[in-house]
């Protein structure tokens, strides 16, 4: 069975959002970013309290209030700090690819599915690449409302659109049956 489709810039950004949630690489970086953001917020809380508090308080009381303000601000903004890595990473990808997005995308993709392998052929700017993936090598499967993501190692992913590919209804049913059999219960 074969799937023919085009990967677009928006598909790539959707993959980045998904990989931020599922890859250890991003989890570690998200934790470091969270800690840095929380320290910065704590420092801002200290600084704000210094400018707001009256100057006639004792030194120990002033420091206690400043530290409390820093901790309070860090705790209140922790949910925003947790989202910070994802927002910063997506912004970074958009910034890096803003000039190239019209030359890199779309990519023509042909996926051949059989009982043992997924064979992926991409065509981009006249350059053809072939990748062969054994079903057993797929480590993680993730999905959103438009895509199925097949992680076959820590940083390599195959994106399969759920509906944006050329196939008859019978072929789509067969593809869905094969993917369900090989990867578990899936609905595409």
In whole angstroms, give the CA distance from residue 146 to residue 162.
6
Q: CA gyration radius for the chain? A: 24
In whole angstroms, give the CA distance from residue 4 to residue 148.
15
Whether the predicted model's global pTM rises above the 0.75 cut: no
In whole angstroms, give the CA distance from residue 174 to residue 172.
5
Span 86-105, mean pLDDT? 81
Domains with residue ranges and CATH for the chain: 2-9+100-183 (2.30.29), 24-97 (no CATH)
**Position 185 pLDDT exceeds 60:** no
Among residues 74, 76, 67, 75, the alpha carbon closest in space to that of 49 is found at 67
Residue 167: band (very low, low, confident or very high) from pLDDT cuts 50, 70, 90: low
User: Edge to edge, what strands does the sheet with 157-161 contain?
Assistant: 140-143, 147-151, 157-161
């Amino acid at each position: 069975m074969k799937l023919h489709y085009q990967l677009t810039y928006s598909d790539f950004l959707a993959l980045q959002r998904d990989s931020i949630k599922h890859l250890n690489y991003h989890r570690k970086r998200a934790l470091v970013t969270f800690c840095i953001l929380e320290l910065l917020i704590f420092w801002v809380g200290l600084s704000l309290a210094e400018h707001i508090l009256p100057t006639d308080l004792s030194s120990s009381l002033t420091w206690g209030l400043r530290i409390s303000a820093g901790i309070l601000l860090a705790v209140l903004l922790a949910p925003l700090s947790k989202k910070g890595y994802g927002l910063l990473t997506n912004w970074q990808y958009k910034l890096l690819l803003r000039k190239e997005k019209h030359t890199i995308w779309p990519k023509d993709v042909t996926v051949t599915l059989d009982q043992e392998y997924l064979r992926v052929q991409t065509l981009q700017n006249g350059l053809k690449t072939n990748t062969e993936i054994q079903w057993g090598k797929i480590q993680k499967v993730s999905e959103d409302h438009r895509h199925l993501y097949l992680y076959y190692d820590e940083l390599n992913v195959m994106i399969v659109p759920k509906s944006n590919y050329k196939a008859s209804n019978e072929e789509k049913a067969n593809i869905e049956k094969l993917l369900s059999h090989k990867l578990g219960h899936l609905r595409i």
